[in-house]
Structure 1
Amino acid sequence: MNSRPVPGSSSGLKKRFWTEASVTEDMGEFGVALDGRPVRLPGGTPLRVSSRALAEALAEEWSRAGRDDVERRFGPLDLPLTRITGTMIERVAPDRLHSIRTLMEYGKNDALCYWTDEGGALAERQEAELGPWLTWSATRLGADLIKTTGLMPVTQPPEALGRLEATLIATSDADLAGLGVAVPALGSLVLGLALMEGALSVDEAVSLTTLDEQVQMARWGEDSALLDRIATIAADLSDAVRFMTLAR
């Protein structure tokens, strides 16, 4: 049976070539078929997951892609869950260590630890809103991170970094793939882990990671570029959380 590959990561749009997307099941795993032909990922790996709920969401994503476009075109932005699933299957699963090392770079330079040195409204909000998550990191994860002000880098204690790494090692492939989207959007491994555990909502996470933008707009008025940035972060976090939830 012929298979259709998932579109690559290029920005070019492709034309919809199928009528129906459906869920398939084989030996306890679930996939997506387009007009009966199973979807394969860019590396040639079959798109198969262990969660029926995730497979149904993937099939619905493919069912919608390009459907309402006049020219029946679609692109990677139409398939966010498929993109994260592909990362899980073709990148995370074959080399978990690479994924963990990449995420740990955010832990070593966690944005949660870098506060303004100028005082004012931003400093007050950081103290009130970011401070509790440093405490959460210490109490829940065992990672007591050091905060700093300004742009001077701070070296985090090896013990704290070791606890963060241990948390990632114990994390599933699906959650590592979700963190691979959420953590760069947040600039923070700690906030990404809080999001993964459900200790932090998407709206709360967006607010925490855009304190600077919020303070700027409160002072100078709304800025379309900042609003677009906030919207992009919100979309990325929503996709990551939805994927991690469906994959469980």
Structure 2
Amino acid sequence: MRDQLEEAGKHRDDGYGRAQHHVKTQLPKRFYSQTGVSPVDGGFSVTLDGRATRTPALKLPVVVPHADIAMHMADEWAAQGELIDPAKMPMVRLINSALESGEALVPAFRDEVVKFAGNDLLLYRADYPSELVAEQETHWDAALVKVARHFGVSFQPTVGVMHQDQPPPTLARLAEVLQHENLLVMTALVSITGISGSGILAIGLWHKLFTPDELWTAAHVDEDFQNRQWGIDEEAAERRRMRRLEFDTAVKVLDALRN
């Protein structure tokens, strides 16, 4: 199921697949020596040799509402070597993606998270082997109970992969929870949802029902079980490392905005 959910997120600029596209092309040379953060109307801007940065496609001014986000972006620019590698700039990619998407796409982002929650990783259970069943029950049941109690909703997990409709009031309530979230929050939540395969976990994280590590563990119950059975594939481990980098970046955005 995670493969299907990750495929759905490939259109987003902050995904690992998009970053890898840049690796296949010729990387631009570094053209600046100093990076900085400057207060501007509406927040903070990252500067390169004193000039404010802009998004790559639409050339929009990059202005973020919190200094911590701008400083993370400046650090990524500063860490570039002779060539500029977007794959090593997850915060820059995430913010650029949000700004170029624009406020008009916030409802679509909200719908995407709720749609994932209606077909969530946590809701489709294995019936064997018993060790995996127990792992899913331990991590996923606890997560569902926390979210259900916090928002006053109910979920209907099922065994197997046949689609199970979730109660319409539950999905309506989750949509209501996200109704007033802004562009950066929703961009980060869409990223976390695509990486984890769970809109339920993403919403719970934003409301501090889980820590980032608890979410990460719950999202990888199946994968960790398979790794224990068959060993860890190097390419899969690298993909997971990159997903964790993208995940941690989105969490940093949420933490800054929450504060």
TM-score, normalization by structure 1: 0.88
For residue 214 of structure 1, report the CA deviation from its aligned partner. 1.5
Superposition RMSD on alpha carbons, in Å? 1.9
- Select between 218-227 and 140-149 the one with higher mean Cα deviation: 218-227
* Map 1:21-36 → 2, pairs under 5 A: 21-36=35-50
Percent same amino acid among aligned pairs?
Answer: 26
Structure 1 residues 226, 213: CA separation in 2 closer, same or farther (over 3 Å shift)? Answer: farther
For residue 90 of structure 1, report the CA deviation from its aligned partner. 2.4
Gaps of 5+ in 2: 1-17
Aligned length: 236
Q: Is the 8 A contact 2:154 2:170 kept in 1?
A: yes
- Residue 179 of structure 2 corresponds to 169
Structure 2: distance between partners of 1:199 and 1:168: 15
- Residue 5 of structure 2 corresponds to none
* Map 1:1-248 → 2, pairs under 5 A: 10-11=21-22, 12=25, 13-41=27-55, 42-64=57-79, 66-67=80-81, 72-248=82-258
Q: Which has the larger radius of gyration?
A: 1
Structure 1 residues 57, 210: CA separation in 2 closer, same or farther (over 3 Å shift)? Answer: same
Structure 2: distance between partners of 1:146 and 1:92: 34
Gaps of 5+ in 1: 1-7
For residue 194 of structure 1, report the CA deviation from its aligned partner. 1.9
Give runs of ≥4 in structure 1 deviating > 6 Å: none
Q: Is the 8 A contact 1:29 1:51 kept in 2?
A: yes
- Select between 22-31 and 236-245 the one with higher mean Cα deviation: 22-31
Cα deviation 1:162-203 (Å, max 9, x = unaligned)? 011111113232211111210000110011112223332222
Structure 1 residues 168, 50: CA separation in 2 closer, same or farther (over 3 Å shift)? Answer: same
